[in-house]
Amino acid sequence: MNIDKRYFKRMFPYLAQELESGENKISIDSVRSDIESGEKTASSRFNGYNPDVIDFLRRCDTKEQADKIIEYLVQKKEISQQYADKLKKQLQEKGVRSFGSKKKDGYYLRQAGY
């Protein structure tokens, strides 16, 4: 499918910018034609992994961000108010880094070896 570059930029400015910058490139080291061998080789370390409240808190930079995460998860009924109170107490007394070191962008990809 051919599409005019100017039209594409007008319709998808952020995507066009990302494509042109070349910052988010992923190299492909190999190609497998056999699906089973490819699946065996792929990392399954985080398959089915569902981040918990601590994972989200470790992405925060400030106490305010962490507090909003806790409140949101209570509102969504993903954590109890009792657990939220315990987390907030730890947050106020020990700070946001008391939940662990900061998880930066691409954390899970790096852990999986990509």
User: Is position 97 within any domain?
Assistant: yes
Q: What is the pLDDT at residue 94?
A: 94
Cα–Cα dist 96/57, whole Å: 7
Please say if the pLDDT value at position 43 is more than 70: no
Q: What is the pTM of this model?
A: 0.57
User: Is position 83 within any domain?
Assistant: yes
User: Is position 67 within any domain?
Assistant: yes
User: Is position 75 within any domain?
Assistant: yes
User: 43 and 113 in contact (C-beta within 8 Å)?
Assistant: yes
Tally of domains in the chain? 1
Please say if the pLDDT value at position 25 is more than 80: no
Q: Which domain holds residue 91?
A: 53-111
User: Is position 19 within any domain?
Assistant: no
Dump pLDDT digits (tens) for 60-94.
Answer: 999 999 999 999 999 999 999 999 999 999 999 99
User: Is position 89 within any domain?
Assistant: yes
Q: What is the pLDDT at residue 16?
A: 87
Please say if the pLDDT value at position 102 is more than 70: yes
User: Is position 77 within any domain?
Assistant: yes
Please say if the pLDDT value at position 21 is more than 80: yes
Cβ neighbours around 92 below 10 Å, total: 11
